[in-house]
Structure 1
Amino acid sequence: MFKDREDAARRLATRLSHLRGKRPLILAVPRGAVPMGVILATELEGDLDLVLVRKLGAPGNPEYAVGAVDEAGHVYVNPDVTDWLEPAYLAREVERQRALLAARRAQYGAPQVDPAGRSVVVVDDGVATGATLIAALDAVRARRPAHVTVAVGVASPQAMERLRGHADAVVCALVPEDFHSVGQYYQEFGQVEDADVTEWLGAWHGPGR
């Protein structure tokens, strides 16, 4: 178990220490992974930015991810839901989440760093199904980075298997067999607010950067 997101980020930084000196680009998945991204970018002497994706919630259970969508409209759907997920519902959910992505991008500001040709680390605090993070990885891949590593605090074994097909390397601090939820592996797992993200990004991209 981690004490908090900072603890998870520092454990990941240790496992990614081979990237120090290579100026990696750390792309955090908002909102929870942003404080982790700040630590990784600092520890690895890299750059920091965001990759924006939104979970596609299941009918009647919005917390369960049936897939995810990125800013460009690319959609990933979990293979195990295609038999029962209605196309009409999926189309409505995609449009709803894309509208939220547009609003979030307007709040956070335009991307600051081009990942083309870069060594990129996509970071998240935890992964249950893998849908959101896979959409993030596919979005990053489309921009032609040289190498993509996914770094997560905790993941289910099923999510780990799915992630391996979408990144050059997968680094995860905890892969418990009895995984139930991301939050159960953090002693402190408070909500990260949009205002927090905006403040962290403003400080990172401010004068002197």
Structure 2
Amino acid sequence: MTELPFRDREDAAQRLAARLDRYRGRHPVVLAIPRGAVPMGRIVADALDGELDVVLVRKLGAPGHSELAIGAVDEAGTVELNAVAKALGVDDAYVRREAERQLALIRERRQRYRGGGPGLALGGRIVIVLDDGLATGATMIAALRSVRAQQPQWLVCAVPVAAESSLEDVQLVADEVVCLATPAPFHAVSLYYGRFPDVGEESVAIVLAGRWPGARQAG
């Protein structure tokens, strides 16, 4: 059983990389969900001799409670709603406005991280979608569905810690789920890390550009 808390995201990423070692040498694509998972994605991608990119999805916040996810939207504009949206009776007009707002942020991030260029081609590839933890799982599910539409050979969800109920939903979308710990009752993701600092936009851009101090050097 995995000991909690993780020291930090680096510790969690190293443990995940060890669990994913069977993909080393198979040139997987590691897609990190910004922002916190991006430095983790670099560690895992380097350990597996893979490539790193981001998958851009945004959660949709509930009316008046932006931190409560009612679903998520991906870069193609596809909206996934969860049970919370139904329970709150959120109307279509609100969902449309919130999705448009989050799509604008996704486009800004694509421009900032990759100069507006397209992400890596995923067709026929082993793709590992990574986040630093799952609470509701809404963002991860949207990310996995977005990747699935590009017809990867094998689709993996990888997280250090998750609510067990969220994993059940994710297992319906991914070919494989790798999770190190499912504490119950589940609390905020940050509580399962000794250190859980914010990861800024500039840090994400640096990691993706390969200028992060821990990045593998070419050649």
Q: How far, CA to CA, are the matches of 2:184 and 2:216 in structure 1? A: 42
1:110-153 Cα offsets, whole Å, 9 max, x none, are 24421110011000001110100100001101111000000011
Q: How far, CA to CA, are the matches of 1:96 and 1:24 in structure 2? A: 32
- Over the matched positions of the two proteins, sequence identity in percent amounts to 50
The Cα shift of 1:206 comes to 11
Question: Gaps (5+ residues) in structure 1?
Answer: none
Q: State the AA in 2 paired with 1:16.
A: L
1:138 corresponds to 2:145 = yes
Tell me the matched-pair count.
Answer: 209
Equivalent position of 1:147 in the other structure:
154
Please report the RMSD computed on the Cα atoms of aligned residues, expressed in angstroms. Answer: 1.7
Q: State the AA in 2 paired with 1:103.
A: E
Q: How far, CA to CA, are the matches of 1:13 and 1:207 in structure 2? A: 18
2:40 match: secondary structure:
helix
Question: Gaps (5+ residues) in structure 2?
Answer: none
1:122 match: secondary structure:
strand
1:60-84 Cα offsets, whole Å, 9 max, x none, are 1111111000010001100342241
1:64 corresponds to 2:71 = no
1:64 match: secondary structure:
strand
Equivalent position of 2:82 in the other structure:
78
1:90 corresponds to 2:82 = no
1:51 aligned to which of 41, 45, 55: 55
**How do 1:1-209 residues align onto structure 2 when only pairs under 5 Å count?**
1-83=5-87, 84-109=89-114, 110-203=117-210, 208=218
1:116 match: secondary structure:
coil
Q: How far, CA to CA, are the matches of 2:13 and 2:70 in structure 1? A: 27
> Given the two structures, how large is their TM-score scaled by the length of structure 1?
0.96
Moved over 4 A (4+): 204-209
Q: How far, CA to CA, are the matches of 2:57 and 2:6 in structure 1? A: 25
